[in-house]
Amino acid sequence: MNWITNSVLPKIQALVRREVPDNLWHKCVACGQMIFHRDLEQNLHVCPECGHHLRIGPIDRLKMVFDDGKYDTIQLPKPALDPLKFRDQKRYTDRLREAQAKTGRSDAMVVAHGTIGGTPAVAAVFDFGFMGGSMGTGVGDALVRAAKLAETQNAGLLVFPSSGGARMQEGILSLMQMPRTVAAVDRVKERGLPFIVVLTDPTTGGVTASFAMLGDIHLAEPGSIIGFAGQRVIQETIREQLPDGFQRAEYLLEHGMVDAVVHRKDLKATLGRILALLLRPRPTAQIVALPQPDVDIPGKAPAAKDGGKATIQVADTRTPTGESD
């Protein structure tokens, strides 16, 4: 039977074998449930068993929040390849090339514009798959461009951070993006335009310490990790046990750091309402004057109705000399 097993059977299997993609099923990192990829996409990459919000890329995010999934991206300046000639286990240039080949973009941020609920908006979305969404000069340039575009279009500025913080391979140049991005969003606020931050998992480091916590309104996805330093580092520093759920979106909501924790399926509608209230404050319906009720005022003649509208006539209390008593 060896010749059948070793020769004939492999040939038959080669004729009928079909290549099966290895990404048909995804495992929830919270509960371990295996989810079919189509079911996961229909559920907006939220686990149907435990409700855990899985991380998503910027393209999926943009399609999710803009009207009809339609938007236009802008071209961003090319970042400096290796300004400090940095090298650890790999050259920084090699790390950049690997991340660019993996994600298909030049750096860790995508900027797009369109409408959300009929209101113009500019969105700057981090890509955690690009070196952990770290903030270098490329991300700083992208956010400055997004702020200028919001000013030009008189639109709201939305930022979706998902980052491990400043990019260590760019050293002080990366840290300088913190005040630079803060100045950019301040100019947006000075124009009276809303700056809304949607905190996603994770938002940490220099991104949290700069523009990510300066929004007019802060929303967060359920279960997102939001903080500066990691929980283990904090515990080792202060030598105390931190409470359960520390640095999670729900914990920050209870302590006033976040305005609302919004499920991903409700995020588009929530953003649309906020933008409409802040950019279109005037009522859309016609203002109708209500008839005044009959009011008896001491020292005044009774109100006379004229055409259904109440009018008040003031009695003449002057003396014959023309002076008032």
Of residues 325 and 29, which shows the higher confidence score?
29
34-36 and 25-27: which strand pairing?
A: antiparallel
Tokens 């990404």 correspond to what residue?
A: 23
| 73, two tokens | 């991206």
CA distance 318 to 325: 6
Residue 115 identity = T
Cβ(260)–Cβ(301) under 8 Å? Answer: no
3-state secondary structure of 260: strand
325: pLDDT strictly greater than 60: no
Looking at residue 281, its pLDDT comes to 72
135: exposed, middle or buried (C-beta count within 10 Å: 0-12, 13-18, 19+)? Answer: buried
CA distance 218 to 250: 13
Per residue, what are the HEC states of 156-217?
EEEEECCECCECHHHHHHHHCHHHHHHHHHHHHHHCCCCEEEEECCCECHHHHCCHHHCCCE
pLDDT in tens, 184-216: 999 999 999 999 999 999 999 999 999 999 999
Mean pLDDT computed over every residue of the chain: 88
- Counting Cα atoms < 13 Å in the Cβ hemisphere of 48 gives 11
3-state secondary structure of 11: helix
Q: What percent of the chain is modeled with pLDDT above 70?
A: 82
CA 205 to chain centre: 17
Looking at residue 315, its pLDDT comes to 47
Q: What is the mean pLDDT of residues 81-86?
A: 90
Q: What is the mean pLDDT of residues 76-93?
A: 90
Q: What is the mean pLDDT of residues 248-271?
A: 97
Neighbours of 154 (CB within 10 A): 11
291 — pLDDT class (breaks 50, 70, 90)? confident
Nearest CA among 129, 131, 143, 137 for reference residue 82: 137
Q: What b/e string do you get for 42-69 counting C-beta neighbours within 10 Å, with b at 16 or more?
A: eebbbbeeeebbbbbbbbebbeebbeee
pLDDT in tens, 258-267: 999 999 999 9
Q: What percent of the chain is modeled with pLDDT above 90?
A: 74
CA distance 272 to 65: 9
Of residues 149 and 230, which shows the higher confidence score?
149
Nearest 5 degrees, angle CA 52-CA 160-CA 39? 35
